[in-house]
Structure 1
Amino acid sequence: MRSEIVLAVLAVLTALAVLAVLTALAVLAVLTALAVLASLEGRWSRLAVTGRKFGGELGQDSTWSFHSPIPEGSRWT
């Protein structure tokens, strides 16, 4: 009788431990997915801003002298 109680308690504790591990993995997966989405959103929004800076829409003048990383007066200008 006593060993049956011990086995039942161990079974419940094991089930709770497995549930805790699965919950932690699920939370980690959700946080990872959110981080990836935030990273992608940031990358796409930077591309959109860059596209607007350099002309964006077709047919616009896409000069970028104001945003040029090359300093004025260098041999590349």
Structure 2
Amino acid sequence: MSEVMTIRVDRKTKSRLEKLAKAMERTKSYVAAEAIRAYVDLNEWQITEIRAALKEADAGDFASEAEVQAVKGKWRRGAGQMA
């Protein structure tokens, strides 16, 4: 079940939203709701991961020097293959 929410956006953003909705053959409301949902999903995920990382750091759960070097070497090898 959806609920009504009123937001204010600048004129340029509103115009862009209208054009996008028209191109997608959707309503402005649908496009705005999807954008808000995606934003909330992403930020909830980031906050959850940051809190988990802080908890690990507070517990002293860090990668060892050997683990860091192994990952560093892996990235170097991968970067060389892309060239």
Q: Give TM-score scaled by structure 1 length.
A: 0.46
- Structure with the bigger RCO (C-alpha within 8 Å, sep 6+) is 2
Q: Which has the larger radius of gyration?
A: 1
TM-score for the superposition, normalised by structure 2: 0.43
